[in-house]
Structure 1
């Protein structure tokens, strides 16, 4: 069975006011003081962000427990230095990012100018194991039309800089300003994939392979396909659903490749429209159907994803988990919908942030 792990980026905020706090270095120092060999937490581009990465797991319940445990540990360490963690993909209240003092991040700030400030955003990346680069590239080619559905399921960023954006995943719109971000064309082979990455590096527009910000890519560190479209999810159970569906989609894509079924040949232009549509309305209205690229009610499209990956879900024993989690998410709404309801009730974005601090830990 394929392993899957996740990386989550969390926002550091004042627990009482909801104001972002640039204390990630202090949190990391605290973690290293307790365990010099710790590799759970790391810094991100801005000091108001903290990242953690789970271990790879084959059992989804174990992965979910790992996410919850990591969030609680992040909250404990943050509390000891005077802040709290919130699983918010954008900061609802006004903020100016405090750049982490790092040569790589300084290069980004100099290269991309004011756009860099827009990247104080928090995502969730799922790493699913693949057997080889050949299998990995075949999977990337077949995942492309399904990634906007994962974005819709994870949507958790309706507010930014004190404003209602009119999107449910505005994080993805901000991130799309990065020159290497977004959907990709069909690669067809590892040689073509690695050739394109080499050409991008040679252009000088990006600094290193870590800045190849495709919606899904071969990991430079691990033998995995890394799916990068999701907002960080407000609730840990949504993260577990995302990882479950990511693994099922990867397994389904690999089986289709081995069976000789061709990858869907949707243009990058259509995939960009699907990505925008998912970021705009999420599960609230329509999504573009991954097969036809025509609008359909979002719940129907999510059910289509479950049907498409149904054999893989059944073989991993995750069918009931996925179906129940989808039903709950469609009933309760995404993190974006929860934020919007909180704002309607309280009239205060600061209250939205402080309540999301509580929901981050369940």
Structure 2
């Protein structure tokens, strides 16, 4: 069985001239709805400076790449009709005053979480991979958890926050971690234990519902998928496809381990939290925590370990050569965080940095 993959990308709406984030999602969504006769893939997000789209499930990664580029192009076109531009940025480089979206759910979140909700203008990328059952899905969650920080480092695309260099490659990961349910979690052990844990979490009253269970990876509450949520939105759509392909490879590998009776790593959540912090801090520019030894190693070595871990699955799906090439490209040219910083160093302007990211997003 070839597993299907779907991607959700959150995009930033910005002023085409100033580069500042603009609260125009309602206008863009209305234009998209009219253009697609009610079949729009776009949705509102917590803040009105954001726009989200979802691809359909794809078994072929070339088809997924076409879908990501197609919906990005449509987002660019609809935003232009509303007087804005689109940037695949996980945070706004320029200072911004986030505006909470309309609707009862978002109003509840704003009241419940205060400044945490107000400051959550961040854009992520969620990858859905099909699973045969909740039992298989939870077995996968238990076995991919130690590799998720590597995906964060790969996708890191948020070095700037409110006009300043945050000193992180993914400052989004720091902001996102303020939600009470966000981050890595313990090994679940079974689907029954997973669902019982989610019910208990919601029953505390801290969260509104199951949709606010923001684990780094979870069972989707809408689709028969494992949903990996740790990544920043990627600046280059090729990196989105690389991320999705690696996630499918991780899911395939984990499912095989489960069927073979191999237990998941017993590493504690505190180690995973430290590894995620390091991934968000350094991205691909320094050291990462190796998921097998839990010791610091250069990022390219840890990426190599990830590739070796999923190699058999990638060979079987026919994706190995494409992933090897894409990883080499990312190591050479850098992720979104490096591209943003290099653009700022070259131009001396965050406005020009946003403009360059708008150009890359639209390509």
Distance across 2 between alignment mates of 1:31 and 1:155: 29
1:139 aligns with 140
Q: CA deviation at 1:219?
A: 0.1
1:283 aligns with 284
Kindly provide the CA deviation profile for residues 239-290 of structure 1, in whole angstroms up to 9, marking residues without a partner as x: 0000000000000000000000000011000000000000000111111111
Q: CA deviation at 1:39?
A: 3.7
| Residues 141-160 of structure 1 aligned to structure 2 (within 5 Å) | 141-160=142-161
| Residues 101-140 of structure 1 aligned to structure 2 (within 5 Å) | 101-140=102-141
Distance across 2 between alignment mates of 1:76 and 1:325: 28
Distance across 2 between alignment mates of 1:118 and 1:248: 34
Distance across 2 between alignment mates of 1:39 and 1:311: 37
Q: CA deviation at 1:44?
A: 0.3
| Residues 53-132 of structure 1 aligned to structure 2 (within 5 Å) | 53-132=54-133
Q: CA deviation at 1:35?
A: 2.3
Distance across 2 between alignment mates of 1:301 and 1:121: 26
The number of residues matched between the two structures is 362
| Residues 216-255 of structure 1 aligned to structure 2 (within 5 Å) | 216-255=217-256
Decide whether the 8 Å contact of 2:142 with 2:188 is kept in 1. yes
Distance across 1 between alignment mates of 2:129 and 2:119: 28
Distance across 2 between alignment mates of 1:163 and 1:308: 37
Q: CA deviation at 1:101?
A: 1.1
Distance across 1 between alignment mates of 2:86 and 2:282: 26
Distance across 2 between alignment mates of 1:343 and 1:41: 31
Kindly provide the CA deviation profile for residues 265-322 of structure 1, in whole angstroms up to 9, marking residues without a partner as x: 1100000000000000011111111111111111011011010001000000000000
Distance across 2 between alignment mates of 1:84 and 1:293: 42
Name the SS of the counterpart of 1:168 in structure 2: coil
Name the SS of the counterpart of 1:119 in structure 2: coil
Q: CA deviation at 1:347?
A: 1.0
1:306 aligns with 307
Q: CA deviation at 1:102?
A: 1.1
1:259 aligns with 260
Name the TM-score, length of structure 1 as normaliser. 0.99
Distance across 1 between alignment mates of 2:48 and 2:211: 19
**Structure 2 gaps, min length 5:** none
Name the SS of the counterpart of 1:220 in structure 2: coil
Kindly provide the CA deviation profile for residues 68-100 of structure 1, in whole angstroms up to 9, marking residues without a partner as x: 010000000000010010000000111111111
Q: CA deviation at 1:32?
A: 1.1
1:208 aligns with 209
Distance across 2 between alignment mates of 1:75 and 1:131: 36
Q: CA deviation at 1:118?
A: 2.0
1:9 aligns with 10
Distance across 1 between alignment mates of 2:310 and 2:355: 37
Name the SS of the counterpart of 1:131 in structure 2: coil
Distance across 2 between alignment mates of 1:310 and 1:361: 32
Distance across 1 between alignment mates of 2:121 and 2:39: 25
Distance across 1 between alignment mates of 2:100 and 2:112: 14
Kindly provide the CA deviation profile for residues 14-43 of structure 1, in whole angstroms up to 9, marking residues without a partner as x: 111101111100011011112233140000
Name the TM-score, length of structure 2 as normaliser. 0.99
Decide whether the 8 Å contact of 1:118 with 1:175 is kept in 2. no
Name the SS of the counterpart of 2:114 in structure 1: helix
Distance across 2 between alignment mates of 1:184 and 1:139: 13
Decide whether the 8 Å contact of 1:235 with 1:361 is kept in 2. no
Decide whether the 8 Å contact of 1:84 with 1:357 is kept in 2. yes
1:322 aligns with 323
Name the SS of the counterpart of 2:100 in structure 1: coil
